A = this chain, B = another copy of it.
Amino acid sequence: MNGTSSSNNIKQDNPPSLQNPYTQHYSDLLSRVNKFSIIESTLREGEQFANAFFDTATKIEIAKALDAFGVEYIELTSPAASEQSREDCVAICNLGLKAKILTHIRCHMGDAQIAVETGVDGVDVVIGTSSYLREFSHGKDMNYITTQAIEVVNYVKSKGIEVRFSSEDSFRSDLVDLLSIYRTVDKIGVNRVGIADTVGCANPRQVYDLVRTLRGVVSCDIECHFHNDTGCAIANAYAALEAGATHIDTSVLGIGERNGITPLGGLVARMYTADKEYIKNKYKLHMLRDLENLVADAVQVQVPFNNYITGYCSFTHKAGIHAKAILNNPSTYEILKPEDFGMTRYVSIGHRLTGWNAVKNRVEQLGLTLTDDQVKQVTIKIKELADIRPLTMEDVDNLLRDFHNAITSGDQLRVDGVLAVGTN
């Protein structure tokens, strides 16, 4: 149980109200929030994103960047999908990366044979177990699925590499069927079983319950894969880890089928709140932004304005009361330290919601000298102007300098002029 001690102790060095409320304050034997691995699937799930067409050079560049960031596993498209997919898989296996290389195949012997020839460190096998998929996709019953699974798992194991068996659409599968097949493959020595919310609709309490139940049934590792159609992909990953899952699938910016899966950056933000030091030691957090830009360029999308950590306003503070507190102590309104991610904080003051504390801070940054009363006067002026039109930072700085010059000139008429609405 290396690596778990930091959060399994009751922290007593801070008064209770100043403890980090996001770490565990008591032992939680199931939880793996500070002992998990990422299976990074930008080059598999991400290739299923509408815009994705990765040529070999791009795949290699992304694989190297993921490896440099520090993900534990990189998952690739099935080599059975196309000849180029197979060649790319071989090429990435030959890069000698630190991350283990996996490929993701259907539960077919033919696919398995092609996969083990590529040099991968492991094979992720998947088959649909839900009534929906059994009826409308592959049309096979549970006996057939079980027989097939045993054959494929044993074959991959015989090659001395890792093998995972995953159901698809796990949350609409019959629970007893699901546990039965997982127990079977666990007994024959699979490395991991996988749970997949293929339609993106599980919620955290369901996830916690299913993973906790499964944790009592199998002794192997548990991998989880969550789609984000209804906005729970990050929270579900967290709930799964709380319940004892060991591996989480991600992709950069969450790209994948439909609106995608758990995003790498979003998961990192979430897990950072659970154990900051663990995450900072495990991953090169300052590389996140370049990694996201690389993938965004490759699939020709904009990084969303509200992206986790690297979105351009993730560390922008605007409301007057927020700005004041942030200037006193950033952790009042920030759970993520921007500098840990190579980002910077920005306190916006040129708007009608501004407060005099934030303006005072700017006055000091500009090297100007004003009394608190004078700052309050000029803050009223900023609010009045901002009611009329948007103000840039430059507008605000010019106003502050004009006001300061008028004050120091000692000419009250000039001061009044600066403070009159609409005159500049």
Q: Quick one: given A199-B333, A329-B136, A387-B84, are A269 and B230 in contact (CB under 8 Å)?
A: yes
Q: Quick one: given A229-B269, A318-B49, are A387 and B205 in contact (CB under 8 Å)?
A: no
Please indicate which of the listed interface residues A84, A169, A324, A335 has the most CB atoms of chain B within 10 Å of its own CB: A335
- Asked if A172 is at the interface (CB within 8 A of a chain B CB), the reply is yes
- A131: nearest chain-B partner, CB-CB: B17
- Asked if A125 is at the interface (CB within 8 A of a chain B CB), the reply is no
- A325: nearest chain-B partner, CB-CB: B137
Q: Which of B229, B266, B272, B315 contacts A336 (CB 8 A)?
A: B229
CB <8 Å contact, A259 and B311:
yes
Please indicate which of the listed interface residues A53, A106, A229 has the most CB atoms of chain B within 10 Å of its own CB: A229
Q: Quick one: given A133-B325, A273-B230, are A258 and B313 in contact (CB under 8 Å)?
A: yes
The complex is assembled from copies of this chain, and their number is 2
CB <8 Å contact, B17 and A172:
yes
Measured between beta carbons, the chain B residues less than 8 angstroms from A199 are 332-335
Q: Measured between C-beta atoms, what is the minimum distance from A303 to chain B in Å?
A: 9
- Asked if A146 is at the interface (CB within 8 A of a chain B CB), the reply is no
Q: Quick one: given A306-B253, A314-B259, are A203 and B132 in contact (CB under 8 Å)?
A: no
- Asked if A238 is at the interface (CB within 8 A of a chain B CB), the reply is yes
CB <8 Å contact, B132 and A329:
yes
CB <8 Å contact, A83 and B313:
no
**Bound complex: CA of A203 vs CA of B207, how far in Å?**
13
How many A residues face the partner with a CB closer than 8 A?
Answer: 110
- A77: nearest chain-B partner, CB-CB: B353
- A174: nearest chain-B partner, CB-CB: B17
Measured between beta carbons, the chain B residues less than 8 angstroms from A102 are none
Q: Which of B21, B82, B273, B315 contacts A383 (CB 8 A)?
A: B82
**Beta-carbon contacts under 8 Å, A259-274 to B:** 259-260, 263, 266-267, 269-270, 272-273
Please indicate which of the listed interface residues A82, A174, A388 has the most CB atoms of chain B within 10 Å of its own CB: A82
Q: Measured between C-beta atoms, what is the minimum distance from A338 to chain B in Å?
A: 10
Q: Which of B128, B203, B230 contacts A266 (CB 8 A)?
A: B230
CB <8 Å contact, A198 and B333:
yes
**Bound complex: CA of A49 vs CA of B351, how far in Å?**
11
Q: Quick one: given A48-B318, A83-B384, A174-B16, are A205 and B208 in contact (CB under 8 Å)?
A: yes
- Asked if A317 is at the interface (CB within 8 A of a chain B CB), the reply is yes
- Asked if A319 is at the interface (CB within 8 A of a chain B CB), the reply is yes
- Asked if A234 is at the interface (CB within 8 A of a chain B CB), the reply is yes
CB <8 Å contact, A313 and B174:
no
CB <8 Å contact, A321 and B47:
no
Apart from A51-B313, A231-B266: 10 A-B pairs, beta carbons within 8 A: A21-B206, A48-B319, A81-B353, A85-B352, A200-B335, A201-B335, A203-B239, A203-B270, A302-B304, A304-B305
